[in-house]
Chain A
Amino acid sequence: MRVVGPLSVLISFGLGIVPIESYAQVRVSPTGVSVSATSATTVFLTFGGLRDQRPTDAVWCGALVAAAPARGLRCDPSTVYGRLPARYDWSQLRGGSFTDIMSVPASVARVAYQAAQRGATSPFFYVRRFQSLNGAPDEYVAVTCRLTGGGAHSPFSLTDVRLEFDGGDVVPFVTAGQTPPQIAARITYTGTGRLVGRWEVVLPGEESPASRDLLTEATLSADQRGSQRRFAQLERFNVFLPPDGRITLPGPDTRTLPSAVEGTYRVLLRIEATDDREGDSNLVEAGAGTGVVHSGAVAGFPLPTLRYVVAGGGARTRIGEESTLHLLGPRDGDSLAAGALLAVTWSPGEGVIPDFYRVDFETDRGVPVMSALLPRSARRYEAPPWLAERAESRAIRWRVTGLAVNGARLRESVWRTARLAP
């Protein structure tokens, strides 16, 4: 058994001194990638040159050995770190080419790092096995994974996407006509590049998206891109992600979130493929066709969705509350110039008029700033000029609550936000 170290693999595959065909006929692009030593990394791979072969297992390991009598180099069984979990296996076999999405879990990179600490070389390998359907020997094809910080020169991949509503509710309930809470996407990524995509919403009465519809576009093979189902678009985004590894992507303007019809709504984060040199898969080198497949923003999982429910008043959350109180002004999200007074106005709507109104002002983090108690005839309240100072330059949110004479809460408006210049 001949154990092959990373340098010889580099010579064989990277520099091309020894033709890769001498080991296997199936080829892969890229042959080597930089992965994060401390977190997960996802890479788009294209295997080409398949002839009556189907891919089987995919394994990470610290060293390679000759696969004889099979072709190529396979993992040294004593250095195996794990196999590609089925939950991240979004590979596709199409004719003579095979698109593979390699998602390296942090625990695999951790084993490699600890081995390197003990004196071993840090690169490790991802080995795909291809089984012949006509009795020919199996082929093993390896990709070298180099340990880095996961910044510039690593493939631009999304490894953790968490969608959140402001206030932390998992499935907020709001009443018809109310504005749902603000949405944000907390994203952990490797590499750097443009994050381009759109926020969409699945309206009540529409079929839910399939898992494939929720994959990022770069996770699909080139011929599958553009074929995912689209839903009503809320907003587009196009932002540059520096090689920092983390970003909070603001959600769509809450004014665009529909809530006129009662039912369950699902907000989708759709990510489009962008040009990322580090994640390029060269189809010619892989023997899978012509051209280069760009895979900026590849991800090894369908993106999560957020639900909110438009329902009656008893179903409520901290943000979306029962309401027949209609807020008139200022509009949600409006900015007020320095020195301008914040005057809030509302109408009582239909039904019994409350005995009192209470206007609450809080910071956007929910820290109470002040309130005002007003008689049933009130429709307007002018906030004190020191409100911005008390809010410590944070955006504030406000709402109006209708109270009975004994303090019972009869009606409540939604929260609206306003930005006050200091």
Chain B
Amino acid sequence: VDGLFAVVSTVAAWTRFVVPYQSQVARQSTSEPDPLTAVANLEARAVISGDSIIELTLNRPLSPEEGDLVLMVGDVDVTAVSRRAARRIVFQPAAFVLSEGESVVVLFKRKGSRWDEIKRLPIHVLQAAGKARLFTDRSATLGNKGQIAEGRSGGVPEPARRTFQDFVLNAGLHSSQQRAAWSLATQSNYVGVTRREDALRFGVRGSRAPMFDLSDYSIGLQSPALAFSVGRVTFGTSRHLANSFGARGSTLVLTKGPTSVSLGALSGSLQVGWDDLLGLERPTNRILGASIGHELVPTRPGALRLDVTFLDGSKTALSSFTQSAVVDAEESAGGTVQISGALPNQRLRFVSGFTRSRFENPARDPELLGSLVARRPLLDTRGARFVEASAVLLQNARMPVGPAATVTVGLRDERVDPLFRSVAAPVAADRQQDAADATISIGAVTAQLSQSRNRDNLGRVTSALTTLGLTSTASVAVPTAQLFGVRSRSALFPMLTMALNSVHQFTDGIPPGGAFRPSDLPDQLNSIADLSAQWQVGRLRLAIRSNGVNQDNRQEQRENADFASGVRSLSLGATLGARGDISVDAADEFQTAKERNETTRVRRMTLNGAFRPRATTSVLGALSLLRTRPPIGVATMNTDQHVEVSQSFLLPGASEAQRGQFFVRYARTGSLLPDLTTIAAASPSLVHLVQWTVASGLNVRLF
């Protein structure tokens, strides 16, 4: 009994004292800490200056196990330059002033990839701090480039200059000035040469090309309500009238509340050089435009917006600086109305526009017209319209099986009248197109489907051919590591992409009086398939691609005139960190004319490498081989190799910016071609054409 009493007493005592203690300990160890909150030294929607100190204080210290704090001011993460204490974080602007206008301060708790918001504080920055700050920068590099040796095999014509030494000067000026409410930035670049053929505008002006020319320039003045730009500018957001048309000129954008007005005066084509600095000197090559945009729901920009654009311009028969084209002299004037809208959550969006344009080809092309009495196109006013809409039917929706899904569908309708044209928008005229597409994301897998129908000859001209088209596409991207839930060695699992494309073009019959024979009527089905797999394993990257196309002709008398073609390629690259990198590419290409049973096959391989033993020394090398086997005759081979060594150095007694650089390069090209004099023989002989050069150069950076 005593023993039993002793046990009961012990249990009672343990129950009374120990259990409550253990429960207390357990409760303390499993209970969540108090939720984090923070107070700021600013009121919500406070009006502050651009150099104001922002301080947030937590209700309790943040333990290391909970993660750390992140402070965002606007879109800038300022955590690393803020002072931190156990319960406090303080940001004092330095090297970064708060932007004027509405902004937001957000304090996060970050643990791993998870960011939890603790405090959000809208603010209004009244005026950015500081006085006007002017930054300037300039540079000029004088260089000598030349060919110091050249050699070639027989059969290669001697170049106009076997050896030569030329000089170049590349220079630039840059400045920026900022005040609280405005900023001014300028930039100009210049290219000088000692050989006329190397001049920037030799292709346009020939022997009249300036040896020292202006490559480009820009001047930009900005404030919250105004943006004025001179130099290379772009104008227009109208698909059919002026679509981001870029040229030398000037634009002015004024913004007041929900309304913005844009004015543009630009050259008719993109040019470089000292001539026509403002882009307005030649009336026959000048475009003037104005655009007014208005948010119909000012409290929610983007909900419903109306844009009206007017344009009047003309172009000479001259391509832009980096363009080659069959061009005409053109003049057009027109206007467009465009309306766009979206739900607040962006799940439903639409945009629609209607354009009218009056167009003609003025008789200002002497090369085309000369002294001929030629018929010219008549002035014509035509229209174009489009409407596009998209809807997110499912957004991260949970499915009965598998991961969440997102489904977006889109519809598009577009009609461009016959003879429609605008000088500032490259639009394909005489086309009606209707299309539907869907984008489906299920977990990490994304697929896209689309189908479109189109037709031309909308004016029903009886003797012109009418072509109908049906295009279908399907593509899918599969990150296999995510798909199979692979955690370890996931880099070994590739990203797979596959695309299928079908394009069928056919006609609705022989147009009377159109000089068409049955075999001239298109009826062609093109089927295209692409497949690729990509890996990235540490410093290695590998890509394998395959492409196949089948051109199936179906018109009368041409049923067998089909083609099959394709490319299979492999690319392998590795980086050696700061020391350099190396890559190898190989491919096998073919094209088969089924009707003639003729196949052309091309095999190629390229090796590129860069090695930087020191920060000032660089060695580059490249080797490429290309073997072409035509259906008839012998195979040809083209090779290309070059090795280049460059060394930078400091000029004695010069500043850091005044550097020099020396390089030397050996380049060799070779071609193994059939000898044309024996081409008719049963086994034609080959000629090996080789040319090699040694080039060198010395650059000195003046400032």
Measured CA separation A29–B215 after assembly (Å): 45
B656 nearest CB neighbor, chain A only: A351
Which residue in A82, A194, A385 is a CB contact (below 8 Å) of B369? A82
Judged by a CB distance under 8 angstroms, whether B191 is at the interface is: yes
Q: 5 A-B contacts, Cβ less than 8 Å apart? A: A123-B463, A173-B215, A205-B146, A304-B324, A322-B137
Given known contacts A105-B327, A337-B481, A356-B81, A37 and B464 CB-to-CB distance under 8 angstroms:
yes
Given known contacts A233-B640, A312-B701, A162 and B368 CB-to-CB distance under 8 angstroms:
no
Which residue in B164, B326, B329, B657 is a CB contact (below 8 Å) of A88? B326
Which residue in B115, B147, B604 is a CB contact (below 8 Å) of A385? B115
List the B side residues contacting A326 at CB < 8 Å: 578
Given known contacts A85-B365, A311-B171, A371-B77, A407 and B143 CB-to-CB distance under 8 angstroms:
no
Judged by a CB distance under 8 angstroms, whether B187 is at the interface is: yes
Given known contacts A114-B378, A240-B528, A314-B138, A302 and B465 CB-to-CB distance under 8 angstroms:
no
Judged by a CB distance under 8 angstroms, whether A134 is at the interface is: no
For window 74-90 of A, CB contacts with B under 8 Å fall at 77, 79-83, 85-88
Minimum Cβ distance to chain B for residue A379 (Å): 12
Q: Are B377 and A338 in contact (CB under 8 A)?
A: no
| Interface-central residue, B463, B646, B667, by most chain A CB under 10 Å | B463
For window 92-125 of A, CB contacts with B under 8 Å fall at 103-108, 110-111, 113-117, 121-123
Q: Are B141 and A34 in contact (CB under 8 A)?
A: no
List the B side residues contacting A306 at CB < 8 Å: 322
Judged by a CB distance under 8 angstroms, whether B695 is at the interface is: yes
List the A side residues contacting B600 at CB < 8 Å: 275
Interface size class of A (residues with CB under 8 A): 35 or more
Q: Are A171 and B76 in contact (CB under 8 A)?
A: no
Given known contacts A226-B671, A337-B481, A162 and B515 CB-to-CB distance under 8 angstroms:
no
Which residue in B75, B428, B547 is a CB contact (below 8 Å) of A371? B75
Q: Are A301 and B326 in contact (CB under 8 A)?
A: yes
B77 nearest CB neighbor, chain A only: A372
Minimum Cβ distance to chain A for residue B319 (Å): 8
Q: Are A315 and B97 in contact (CB under 8 A)?
A: no
Q: Are A356 and B370 in contact (CB under 8 A)?
A: no
For window 627-663 of B, CB contacts with A under 8 Å fall at 636, 638, 640, 642, 644, 646, 648, 656-657, 661, 663
Judged by a CB distance under 8 angstroms, whether B89 is at the interface is: no
Judged by a CB distance under 8 angstroms, whether B284 is at the interface is: no
Judged by a CB distance under 8 angstroms, whether A262 is at the interface is: yes
Stretch from A2-10, A20-28, A48-56 at the B interface: A2-10
| Interface-central residue, B161, B322, B657, by most chain A CB under 10 Å | B322
Judged by a CB distance under 8 angstroms, whether B252 is at the interface is: no
Q: Are B370 and A83 in contact (CB under 8 A)?
A: yes
List the B side residues contacting A374 at CB < 8 Å: 80-81
Sample of 4 more A-B contacts, CB < 8 Å, known A144-B515, A260-B620 = A37-B464, A77-B373, A246-B428, A261-B646
A300 nearest CB neighbor, chain B only: B326
Judged by a CB distance under 8 angstroms, whether A369 is at the interface is: yes
Measured CA separation A168–B245 after assembly (Å): 11
Measured CA separation A5–B82 after assembly (Å): 84
Q: Are B469 and A151 in contact (CB under 8 A)?
A: yes
Judged by a CB distance under 8 angstroms, whether A339 is at the interface is: yes
Judged by a CB distance under 8 angstroms, whether A277 is at the interface is: yes
For window 282-335 of A, CB contacts with B under 8 Å fall at 299-307, 309, 311-317, 322, 326, 328, 331, 334-335
List the A side residues contacting B482 at CB < 8 Å: 337-339, 421
Judged by a CB distance under 8 angstroms, whether A414 is at the interface is: no
For window 142-166 of B, CB contacts with A under 8 Å fall at 143, 145-147, 159-161, 164
